[in-house]
Each structure stands twice: as structure tokens, then as C-alpha cells.
Structure 1
């Protein structure tokens, strides 16, 4: 019976952990997204233009082209 040592299991390439994952639009600006979505559900899109613009500004600040 062969056994696998802990060193061979944990020896994943270091580059996998060192590279940051790109930020996806769905995960960006959760604070403004949550408030915007709640407003749209409760009041409708027409009543939430300021919150929608605030979320767009946040997304643009993170480099997304909106």
C-alpha cells in the first residue's frame, strides 16, 4: 500500500495563490448594489436614479466601463 506524504499534497504551484483573481462585475460594489436593488424592488427604477448613478460611479472607479 503506498502512502502520499503531506508535502506532495500541499506542493501546489505558488503562482496559483499569488495571482489575484479579476474582480467580476457581479461582486463589485456590494454596498451600493444592495441599496440600489432594494430601492428598485420597493419603488421602481424611476425613483432610484441617484442610487443607480452612485452604483455606476462605484463600478467606474473600479475600472468597469459602464
Structure 2
């Protein structure tokens, strides 16, 4: 029997090692967050909550608007869009 008639497996090279490891399924359109919303922006959330709960202003929503915006922009930085 000649050596050319036998199908020998090819040796692994850096070019072909990952060929079978690539995913073949569809990629989900929904982003996967690395963090949970409860676990990010804790300082901003605490400052916002403290301002809203203990404000002596007539309208705490107006008085704490800057704190709320800081919290929203922090959350947006992690991919969480708040209304």
C-alpha cells in the first residue's frame, strides 16, 4: 500500500487550531451585560437617594435633578438606559 493512499490527519498549526471552535449558531441581538443594574453606580445612587429622601426643598425632584442626571449618565455608561 502506498503512503499517498492513506489519509493522514493534518498536524495542528496555529492557522487551523481554532477552526472547529468558532460558533456556528446565530448570535443573540440582546446584549449581555457584564454587571447587574443593582451592582453599578452605587455611589451615585446613594447620593441621589439621600438627596431625594432628605431634601428640605419644596420640590425635591427639581432640587436633586443634577444627582438624578449623574446617576442616569453613569448607568448609561454600563449600557443601562433609564427613562
Shorter-chain TM-score bucket reads 0.5 to 0.7
Give 1 or 2: higher helix fraction: 1
Q: CA RMSD in A?
A: 1.6
Provide the TM-score with structure 2 as the length reference. 0.50
**Is 1:46 aligned to 2:46, yes or no?**
no
Distance in 1, matches of 2:64 and 2:52, equals 6
- Number of aligned positions between the proteins: 46
Using the TM superposition, give the Cα deviation of residue 22 of structure 1 relative to its aligned residue in structure 2, in angstroms: 3.7
Q: Which runs of 5+ in 1 are unaligned?
A: 1-20
Structure 1 runs of 4+ off > 2 angstroms? none
Q: Which runs of 5+ in 2 are unaligned?
A: 1-32
State the secondary structure of the residue aligned to 1:23.
Answer: coil
